[in-house]
Homo-oligomer: A and B are copies of this chain.
């Protein structure tokens, strides 16, 4: 119906939201058996590349509200994925580091991500996947989206601009 109303190209925004929500939901479902959520996955990825980040820096980087981030990091500490270490430069801030279990989980998330990608895009050829990624990257850059910031945070962020 929208297809008819907007024409093929005009329908792209709607399809993007529809397929994107499906992708995010499926990724969350595929992580669930590991007792992990998309925010956990995103935080592990960031810390793998920037060990020792403070909670404040992590929140700013991911656009997650500080109070919500404290709860997620508490969860992750209880799961043994990260630990808080006293920061020698500023004792008021804790440095967040991955544990061995956190690094192991990151490997599992990578496998889930590759399987998820394969299932989601199975209707497309390798070439079409490349074209799709290229077009999406153009939109992401134009819209000012941060590379690698997972939309699982969108519902957790500051009101108004969670992932932008």
Contacts and interface: CB of A to CB of B under 8 A. Distances in A.
Given A12-B133, A133-B12, A117 B6 contact: yes
Interface in A142-164: 142-143, 145, 147-152, 154, 162-164
Interface string A2-25: 110110111111111111111111
A25 B154 contact: yes
A156 to B, nearest CB: 12
Contacts of A143: 19, 22, 120, 123
Residue in A9, A126, A151 whose Cβ sees the most chain B Cβ within 10 Å: A9
Interface string A48-83: 010000000000000000000000000000000000
Question: Chain copies in the assembly?
Answer: 2
Interface stretch (A87-95, A96-104, A108-116): A108-116
Interface residues of A, number: 65
B163 A22 contact: yes
A21 B151 contact: yes
B150 A121 contact: no
Contact of A130 (B5, B8, B19, B134): B8
A16 B10 contact: no
A124 B117 contact: no
A140 to B, nearest CB: 5
A3 B163 CA distance: 18
A139 B113 contact: no
Given A12-B133, A15-B140, A135-B135, 6 more contacts: A1-B45, A14-B117, A17-B27, A18-B149, A21-B24, A132-B132
